[in-house]
Amino acid sequence: MKIAHMLLLVLGLASIAFLAFLIVYVFFYRKRVTAHVSKDIESSEHKNDDIVQKEDLIIFQGGENLTICDILDAPGEVIGKSNYGTLYKALLQRSNTVRLLRFLRPVCTIRAEELDDMVLMLGGIRHPNLVPLLGFYTGPRGEKLLVHPFYRRGNLADFIRDGNGECYRWATIYSISMGIAKGLEHLHTKLQKPIIHGNLKSKNILLDYNYQPFISDFGLYLVLNATAGQEMLEASAAHGYKAPELIKMKDANEEIDIYSLGVIFLELLSGKEPINEHPTPDEDFYLPNFMRNAVLGHRISDLYHPAILLSNGRNDEIPVTEERILKFFQLAMASCSPSPSLRPNIKQVIWRLEEIMK
């Protein structure tokens, strides 16, 4: 009798404990999956509670359906982080659309009035190869969110390195290169005042379903304070995209973008990552670091991925030849010239790309 009672008691306690555990687990799990963009932002910035601004949403072409609630309630997944902010892939539930949200840390941005002017300027830029700004939200504590479309195939850096055969197709390499060049041409020559990208790299090229490239982050340094801009420049140097002559972000000009473009072309050709292991180049023989061995070895086949030459598809109107690959390589190297005045400008880059396929 006594033992049976004990057993009941133990079983009862055990099931109560289990139930309690289940409740706690479900509670925390639910909390975790429903972390929304606004929560993520609050938890990353507690310090600025004293600054109170008004909440505001500026809408640009294509962002007509955005509302503040929809943006802040969107379940978000962090897909990138940097000193100055966080990038989210977020599902806006009312319209059931996926958007890219870029949160900028309040301490890293320029003063509010200048920032609004700059954002209005960036928000008006539209081109088939540039990531548009759809909306700009300012929160009560000075937090800033930029809203962009989301691109299904991710960024060019991942595309080049995920080994998918598509990235060795000449037709793809060529059309991506031309697309990036056209986007950059728009920034450099088609606006009232040219915009320097300032941080061109394969991670900042997004690809849609058809591998059409869209340049993101252009002019972003313009909304960052000098310290944050400088940190962006150092990151660009460490990853091998920074032109050797550029020391201060405020001196950024068209030539530094051309240098970065040349590095991206080399990356597309070689499939290699342009990590800069030795940031000081030889004085008499300068090369983007990651191409040095290939060029010094005088082996043409080291300059590009061998799969490219074999990549002619049945539908490729203009087949790849070694001559075309070498012309493209020469254009990339000219763009990466150590002397800014020897680099082609963006119109010349496009002209030379067209020449390659004639």
Ligand X SMILES: *[C@@H]1O[C@H](CO)[C@@H](O)[C@H](O)[C@H]1NC(C)=O
Indicate the residue among 84 and 174 with the shorter CB distance to ligand X.
84
What is each CA distance from 302 to 56, 246, 281, 299, 332, in whole angstroms? 53, 29, 21, 5, 15
Q: Of the two residues 156 and 228, which places its CB atom closer to ligand X in the complex?
A: 228
317 binds ligand X (CB under 6 A): no
Q: Does 64 bind ligand X (CB under 6 A)?
A: yes
Report, in Å, the least distance between residue 38 CB and ligand X.
22
Q: C-alpha angle with apex 219: 180 to 264, nearest 5 degrees?
A: 30
**Of 109 and 311, which CB lies nearer to ligand X in the complex structure?**
109
For residue 336, give the amino acid letter. C
Tell me the closest approach of the beta carbon of residue 352 to ligand X, in angstroms: 37
- Closer residue to ligand X in complex, CB, 106/179: 106
Contact call for residues 111 and 51 (beta carbons, < 8 A): no
Classify 172 as helix, strand or coil. Answer: helix
Residue 174-213 contact track with ligand X, rule CB under 6 A, x = bound: ----------------------------------------
Radius of gyration of the chain (CA): 25
Question: Could you tell me the two tokens for 213?
Answer: 């490239």
- The nearest distance, CB 121 to ligand X, in angstroms, is 21
Residue 227 has which token pair?
């310290």
Binding-site size, ligand X (CB under 6 A): 12
Q: Report the nearest approach of ligand X to the CB of residue 176 (Å).
A: 27
Q: Does 107 bind ligand X (CB under 6 A)?
A: yes
Q: Among candidates 149, 132, 13, which has minimal Cα distance to 61?
A: 132
Q: Report the relative pairing of strands 97-104 and 85-92 from DSSP bridges.
A: antiparallel
**231 counts as binding ligand X under rule CB under 6 A:** yes
Q: Least separation, in Å, of the C-beta of 227 and ligand X?
A: 4
Report in angstroms the alpha-carbon separations of 187 from 139, 218, 350: 29, 8, 14
Which single residue is written with the structure tokens 């040219």?
194
User: What distance in Å separates the CA atoms of residue 201 and residue 86, rounded to the nearest whole number?
Assistant: 18
| CB of residue 148 to ligand X, shortest distance in Å | 13
| Angle value at C-alpha 315, between 311 and 321, nearest 5 degrees | 40
Q: Which is nearer to ligand X, 48 or 345 (CB)?
A: 48
What Å distances lie between residue 214 and 130, 131, 349, CA to CA? 5, 5, 18
**Residue 342 within binding range of ligand X, rule CB under 6 A:** no
3-state class (DSSP) for residue 279? coil
291 touching ligand X, by CB under 6 A = no
Which bin fits 122, alpha (ψ -120 to 50), beta or left (φ > 0)?
alpha
Residue 34 interacting with ligand X (CB under 6 A): no
Q: Is 95 in the site for ligand X (CB under 6 A)?
A: yes
- Segment lying near ligand X (by CB under 6 A), choices 224-232, 259-267, 278-286, 338-346: 224-232
Q: How far is the CB of 219 from ligand X (least distance, A)?
A: 17
**72: part of which helix (H) or strand (E)?**
helix 68-72
The length of the chain, given as a count of residues: 358
Quick one: which of 225, 253, 345, 348 contacts ligand X (CB under 6 A)?
225
Among 108, 176, 266, 291, binds ligand X (CB under 6 A): 108
Residue 57 parent element (H or E): strand 56-59
The residue among 85 and 288 lying less far from ligand X, judged by its C-beta, is 85
Smallest distance from ligand X to CB 73, Å: 17
Q: Exactly one of 10, 26, 29, 65 binds ligand X (CB under 6 A); which one?
A: 65
User: For helices 346-356 and 170-189, what crossing angle results, to 10°?
Assistant: 160
Q: Which of 23, 24, 77, 83 binds ligand X (CB under 6 A)?
A: 83
Q: Which stretch binds ligand X (CB under 6 A): 35-43, 62-70, 243-251, 260-268?
A: 62-70
Name the site residues for ligand X (rule: CB under 6 A): 62, 64-65, 83-84, 95, 107-108, 225, 227-228, 231
